Amino acid sequence: MRNRPDNHLYYGDNLAVLREHIPAASVDLVYLDPPFNSNASYNILFKSPAGTSADAQIEAFEDTWHWNDHAEDAFDQVARSGNTKAFDLLNAMRAFLGENDMMAYLSMMAIRLIELHRVLKPSGSLYLHCDPTASHYLKLLLDGVFGKREFENEIIWSYRRWPTSARRFQRMHDCVLFYSREAGANTFNTQLMPPSASSLKRWKGAMQKVTFDAGGKRQPTQEAGESPGVALNDVWDIPILAPVSKERLGYPTQKPVALLERIIAASSRAGDTVLDPFCGCGTAIHAAQKLDRQWIGIDVTHLAISLIEKRMRAAFPEIAFTVEGTPKDLASAEDLARRDKYQFQWWVVSMLDAMPYGGKKKGADGGIDGIIYFKPDGRKTEKALVSVKGGDSVGVQMIRDLHSAMEREKAPIGVFVTKALPTSVMLREAAAVGRFHAPVTGKSYARLQILTLAELFKDRKPDIPYVDPGAAFKQAAREPAARQAQLL
């Protein structure tokens, strides 16, 4: 397995990242699983040692689209893109659908599909994963962007799950729309599936028959051996991830690695570049790494980027990759704090290897932004509360609020992270909270610790005994080298 430094994770809007960082005709395979227009809010579920999920989850993203200035701008960008067929289709959809949530979703997707078409090599392919609520609209858009001749397959991913009561048949499949960049030029490796029992019986019977060539020489119809299998069709029966699956990491829309392995094995070769512009928890790039491909992942939340970093380093300890778009110095961290306080909070929490806590709902987190689990006696798990402040000024009341949260949550330690310098009154208030004594180490630790953003960039970490990072994040299983070689 090569240790490639050319793999990249990008934090940011994928449209901007595609335009600024991904050259034309540089990608061999695109897989995207964009959030559907289901008006749902998805939570990342984190493992809690106490087993309580209510305080161990955080809103990852809102899968809600509205017609607003951003949607109007996306529509206008498609109009000015030069792709008249794509715009004609989008404009017709607007006349039919009106200016509603679905139209906003389609406008946002259309301009991104145009960029994804640009970055694909002539031999490249795109697989768009969607559910039946939007697949028919997206297929029309793909016909407009790629061309109807470039349509290869509508793959049906069939699965089973616990049924629900409804006045219709149970919905037990997703759609994967497969398009080539140039019909007939795309990389495609035929995938085989085991023959059915009846096919195997006919095959063995055929092995006993012979034919004769023009000169009357016996020609066996098949060399000695077993059937190599039959070419895979476009209906795939792959189980979804059960809630208790060892593979599941807590991301709401996580797909099985087996599904992505099949796509990547079919439409790329070793060393090719795979791009996932909505990479979520990173299943596509995980599968790409297993199959010895280079990869590029893009996501708009620090939660996802942090989760993928942990996943990839756990599964592939020797892996090399870069993370772009996250703060690399004090100035860029301060800029993020000004632009988006929630993304700033989640980034700081990830820097501390803490579990994110709460969400965007005002007052839902009680002033707590993260939790660090630790075992001061080597057995019992305790928690340290993390509070992050990205404003230009802080005051002593914030220290008192964190102390109150510590008392309420029975947390021995609190960590206050601030962009602004703490005042002398804040430092005295924090010191007055007292010390925590760890029996195993024999040391004492400040119960309320203040850490500045500048200190964070100097690799200062909270002083906490026996931090247990595995208590909050479910780690991906390490991929065995033998398994990786077999897949190749």
- CB of 351 closer than 8 Å to CB of 38: no
Nearest to 371 by CA among 404, 409, 334: 409
pLDDT at 223 over 90: no
pLDDT at 225 over 70: no
Query: What is the pTM (predicted TM-score) of this model?
Result: 0.84
Q: Report CA 135 to chain centroid distance, whole Å.
A: 21
Q: How far apart are CA 122 and CA 181, in angstroms?
A: 5
* Greater model confidence, 187 or 48: 187
pLDDT at 106 over 60: yes
| CA dihedral sign of residues 105, 107, 112, 113 | positive
Q: Classify domain 331-471 at the CATH topology level.
A: Trna Endonuclease; Chain: A, domain 1 (3.40.1350)
How high is the pLDDT of residue 194? 80
Summarize pLDDT for 157-202 with one digit per residue, the tens: 998 877 777 788 888 899 999 999 999 999 999 998 887 777 677 7
What is the mean pLDDT of the segment spanning 140-153?
97
Percent with pLDDT over 90 in the chain: 61
Summarize pLDDT for 373-418 with one digit per residue, the tens: 998 887 888 999 999 999 999 999 999 999 999 999 999 999 999 9
Give CA separation, 6 vs 80, 224, 278, 287, in Å: 33, 44, 19, 16
pLDDT at 220 over 70: no
428: Cβ–Cβ under 8 A, 6 or more apart, which residues? none
What phi, psi does 473 have (nearest 5°)? -105, 125
DSSP of 290-333, one letter per residue?
HTT-EEEEEES-HHHHHHHHHHHHHH-TT--EEEESS--SHHHH
* Greater model confidence, 468 or 376: 376
pLDDT band of residue 355 (cuts 50, 70, 90) is confident
What is the mean pLDDT of the segment spanning 309-336?
92
How high is the pLDDT of residue 161? 77
What phi, psi does 476 have (nearest 5°)? -70, 145
What phi, psi does 295 have (nearest 5°)? -150, 155
For residue 119, the surrounding DSSP H or E stretch is helix 101-119
What phi, psi does 145 have (nearest 5°)? -80, -45
Summarize pLDDT for 237-262 with one digit per residue, the tens: 999 888 778 888 777 778 999 999 99
Nearest to 157 by CA among 202, 127, 182, 137: 127
pLDDT band of residue 204 (cuts 50, 70, 90) is low
Nearest to 292 by CA among 268, 258, 311, 310: 268
Q: Which CATH class is domain 7-190+234-326?
A: alpha beta
Q: How far apart are CA 221 and CA 406, in angstroms?
A: 77
pLDDT band of residue 206 (cuts 50, 70, 90) is low
DSSP of 341-383, one letter per residue?
HHHHHHHHHHHTTPEE---SSTTSSTT--EEEEE-TTSSS-EE
How high is the pLDDT of residue 472? 58
How high is the pLDDT of residue 473? 62
Segments making up each domain of the chain, as ranges: 7-190+234-326, 192-231, 331-471
Average pLDDT of the residues of the chain: 85
